[in-house]
Structure 1
Amino acid sequence: MAATVRGYLEMLRLEVSGEPYVKSQFRKALLPLLSNLSESAIEFKHQNISAVLMKLGLRSIQGYQPAQNYQQSLVPEVQRQLSSSPSLVELILAEALRAPDPTVAGSLDFISANTPAIIFPEHSGSSHSRIGSPDYDAIEARNRALGLAGELAVADLEYRRLVKAGRSKLAGRIDHVSQTQGDGPGFDILSFEESGREKLIEVKTTRSRAETPFFVSRNELRVSRDHLDSYHLVRVFNFGHGPAWFPLRGSLDASCILEPNDFIALPRPA
């Protein structure tokens, strides 16, 4: 177990530092140390570690889908190795506050991703419930540069969508409300359906996985309730790593499991 965790955390360190690595090489290096496990079994262990890191409030490796059914002894082992490598935790949290590189952010595709499955039904957003770990989600939520970059990407997507549909005049009326009016309206972008109907869009952006929880203010929740037919929350994820997105429409009470803090939101399975 220790060797598997050590290898995973080294991959995470390389990824956060922007250095290339090959997952299969790390798996193959573990085979002589774990003679009773296959390479696919090692990959599943790495998915377990992804789940533990998300439970602890830290981000996981891109491409390793969190798998929740892990040995309980895995949690203290991950914590032990993280505590003995504070520089890795510092790198992860520094990434959460880093401004995105506009040259690698990329454009969003027209087709949305599927709403992710919930990884932790018992998830709670406080750092205490996350066993005292620093909270990547909370730190990243304060990254205004990242939030703005995600909003600009969604505004660009909306503009391209309307122009493609032959609605250039509507595209020209898109308003980046969070920049022109501030946070008061409770959404970030005023766009339009092809019919001309208003579309109120709140954008939540993360460099991490689609399953990463996000913060919702009471004002945003109120607006989603008051404008059921026009409110859209767009979750942008993997920002800077081939960004993608999925929409949540209508009241956030219906589309998310909310935990007060203001609120942490986990998309309900489709």
Structure 2
Amino acid sequence: MAGKPSAWSEAEVAATVRSYLEMLRLEVSGEPYVKSQFRKALVPLLSNRSESAVEFKYQNVSAVLMKLGLRPIQGYQPARNYQQSLIPEVQRQLSLSPSLVELVLAEALQPPDATTTGPLDFAGAGTPVMIFPEHAGSPHAGIGRPDYAAIEARNRALGLAGELAVADLEYRRLMKAGKARLAGRIDHVSRTEGDGHGYDILSFEESGKEKLIEVKTTRSRAETPFFVSRNELKVSKDRADSYHLVRVFNFGHAPAWFPLIGSLDASCILEPNDFMALPRPA
């Protein structure tokens, strides 16, 4: 019977983190790469590890990067249970590669490319599995690294592009339902009247009931935290029966979304910052 796998050595962890960060560098630089080639190149440097073991370790690194306030590469979902011992090694290698951190944070401020971004599908994704423990504080509190989510939140071009995508989704939804009159009444209020309403889009249910939509957009994964203002929280409480927060993620290559309906203090774990929001597990 096969014995329990041996613990990963410091050399193995270092090689895996180095491999992962090189993929991240290529991805944020817009250069093509093949994940399987990186896995195959890494295996000979390890102690009798399978490619599936490497994939899981890459998922661990994804989770650590998110905890450090950066974004992971596409395709390796952050592991919910990851080794805390990975954090120092990822931090060490990032400290030796300040240019990589700068590249990732610069990406957070880039305007989206409308020519390569498709429309949102009607079917939203399910609420993501939370990868950080409840009541653990902000995911990257005390780590001392830059905050991709906070920088991206200041990207007005990205925010506007996400709002336009959701407004288009709402228009197509109502037109498909034969509600052209309601579709024509959709109001992108953050553009027509400015911020301050606590939501971005006034849309409608097929019944004619108002649907207040706040949009939060990220290029990163669905699990990425987002920021909520005190006014948005207040409006979500006062208008809980019609309030929808739409989280748009993977924006720019495979855009998807999920809704959080009702008061935000019921649908999210709020950390005062204004508020950092993590969707509660379904």
Q: What is residue 263 of structure 1 aligned with on the other side?
A: 275
**1:209-220 mapped onto 2 (5 Å cutoff):** 209-220=221-232
2:46 is the counterpart of 1:34: yes
Pick from 118, 121, 137 the counterpart of residue 124 of structure 1: 137
Q: What is residue 143 of structure 1 aligned with on the other side?
A: 155
- For the residue of structure 1 that corresponds to 2:196, the secondary structure is coil
Is the contact between residue 175 and residue 183 of structure 2 (CA under 8 Å) also seen in structure 1? yes
Query: How many percent identity over aligned positions?
Result: 82
Unaligned runs of 5+ in 2: 1-12
2:124 is the counterpart of 1:112: yes
Q: What is residue 17 of structure 1 aligned with on the other side?
A: 29
Report the Cα distance in structure 1 between the residues aligned to 2:103 and 2:113, rounded to whole angstroms: 17
2:257 is the counterpart of 1:233: no
Q: What is residue 201 of structure 1 aligned with on the other side?
A: 213
- For the residue of structure 2 that corresponds to 1:182, the secondary structure is coil
Report the Cα distance in structure 1 between the residues aligned to 2:43 and 2:76, rounded to whole angstroms: 18
2:89 is the counterpart of 1:77: yes
Write the letter of the residue equivalent to 1:19.
E
Pick from 156, 159, 162 the counterpart of residue 168 of structure 2: 156
Report the Cα distance in structure 1 between the residues aligned to 2:82 and 2:132, rounded to whole angstroms: 12
Deviations 1:79-120 (A, max 9, x none): 011010111000000000000001112100000101001111
Report the Cα distance in structure 2 between the residues aligned to 1:139 and 1:40, rounded to whole angstroms: 34
Report the Cα distance in structure 1 between the residues aligned to 2:139 and 2:132, rounded to whole angstroms: 14
Is the contact between residue 138 and residue 215 of structure 1 (CA under 8 Å) also seen in structure 2? yes
Decide whether aligned partners of structure 1 residues 44 and 126 sit closer, same or farther in structure 2, where only a CA change above 3 A counts: closer
Write the letter of the residue equivalent to 1:145.
A
Is the contact between residue 55 and residue 130 of structure 1 (CA under 8 Å) also seen in structure 2? no
CA RMSD in angstroms comes to: 1.1
TM-score, scaled relative to structure 2 = 0.93
Q: What is residue 4 of structure 2 aligned with on the other side?
A: none
Deviations 1:190-223 (A, max 9, x none): 0000011100000000000000000000000000
2:241 is the counterpart of 1:190: no
Decide whether aligned partners of structure 1 residues 130 and 245 sit closer, same or farther in structure 2, where only a CA change above 3 A counts: farther
Decide whether aligned partners of structure 1 residues 72 and 29 sit closer, same or farther in structure 2, where only a CA change above 3 A counts: same
Report the Cα distance in structure 2 between the residues aligned to 1:191 and 1:222, rounded to whole angstroms: 19
Number of aligned positions between the proteins: 269
More displaced 10-residue stretch of structure 1: 151-160 or 13-22:
13-22
The alpha carbon displacement at 1:31 in A equals 1.0
Report the Cα distance in structure 2 between the residues aligned to 1:266 and 1:217, rounded to whole angstroms: 14
The alpha carbon displacement at 1:4 in A equals 0.4
The alpha carbon displacement at 1:24 in A equals 0.7
The alpha carbon displacement at 1:130 in A equals 4.3
The alpha carbon displacement at 1:186 in A equals 0.5
Is the contact between residue 68 and residue 139 of structure 2 (CA under 8 Å) also seen in structure 1? no
